[in-house]
Amino acid sequence: MSYVVVFTGEIRKHFERRRAIAALGSEFGFSFSQIKALMASSRSQLKKSSDRADVCRFMHKLWNSGWHSQLFIDVELLHCTRVSSESGEPELPVVLGKLHTTDPDISISAPRSWHSCDNLNPSAVIQAGNIEANRYLIVLAQDRSELPAELTLADYGEAQMKQCLGKVAGGELLYGPELIERAWQTGILYEMRANIGRDSVQYLVAFFQSTQSFYTLFLWTDLQGFTQSKTEFIQVVATFQSQG
């Protein structure tokens, strides 16, 4: 997964056009010909990085210079400053903070509106959620020494999904497997649904591995709210890191 900042050529409302164009040279070091090319294009990729904080700082700099921009993760749009500002939402991408974990070899971040929980799954090394938005996360770890040495991440993910779907009422595989490729780590992504009591729930499920463990991430919300929640879920999954 990579974060991409796209320059849209749109100037913030009430921001002086001449000042915004000048900032492309003074603040970003673009030459006259580069600025001319940017202005002629409605969609130019300005920055690509696996570091979310880095691209968010870049977007903040564009914003202060008078420009709108968009943030993508691979090809999926995560944030558009113009749309957000016009709808009264925060103009810039939300700040993420690291969640509490009982496994020192992993880390994951979520929006500041998420908080640690202790009642989602007693076996989880991370439990968190946004109760008001009905969005939740657990991370489960399995020691690889307990499994066949030749077991691949793809095999593990497939077996776990079959087991999960067989245990829940109304279990249905909706999507996957999708390979998640990063410079430092590879993962696999699925989507599934299930009936929990009277509620229909949809899950985003991700699998990662280290030399010591396989990790399963379950992120879920009610079926009706999944489409709106998915962008945030993808952002959370993208922050997962394991050591070794």
Q: According to the model, what pLDDT value does residue 231 have?
A: 86
**Cis peptide leading into residue 177 (ω within 30°):** yes
Least confident interval from 13-17, 28-32, 73-77:
73-77
Give the residue among 1, 181, 182 at the shortest CA–CA distance from 74. Answer: 1
Using an 8 Å Cβ cutoff, are 73 and 181 in contact?
no
pLDDT > 90 fraction of the chain, expressed in percent and rounded = 80
| pLDDT single digits (tens) 84-142 | 999 888 899 888 889 999 999 999 999 989 999 999 999 999 999 999 999 999 999 99
Q: Determine the distance from the C-alpha atom of residue 69 to the mean position of all C-alpha atoms in its chain, rounded to a whole number.
A: 18
Angstrom distance (rounded) from CA 24 to CA 38: 10
**pLDDT band at residue 183, thresholds of 50, 70 and 90?**
low
* Per-residue DSSP letter, 224: G
Angstrom distance (rounded) from CA 180 to CA 159: 18
Mean per-residue pLDDT of the chain: 93
| pLDDT single digits (tens) 53-71 | 899 999 999 999 999 999 9
Angstrom distance (rounded) from CA 216 to CA 160: 9
Q: According to the model, what pLDDT value does residue 184 have?
A: 64
Residue with tokens 């993962």: 187
Domains and CATH numbers, the chain: 3-86 (3.30.1390), 97-242 (3.40.1000.10)
| pLDDT single digits (tens) 206-221 | 999 999 999 999 999 9
Is the pLDDT at 175 greater than 70, yes or no?
Answer: yes
Q: According to the model, what pLDDT value does residue 64 have?
A: 96
> Could you tell me if residue 74 is left (phi over 0), alpha (psi between -120 and 50 degrees) or otherwise beta?
left
Angstrom distance (rounded) from CA 127 to CA 137: 6
Residue type, 89: E
Is the pLDDT at 182 greater than 90, yes or no?
Answer: no
Is the pLDDT at 166 greater than 90, yes or no?
Answer: yes
> Could you tell me if residue 134 is left (phi over 0), alpha (psi between -120 and 50 degrees) or otherwise beta?
left
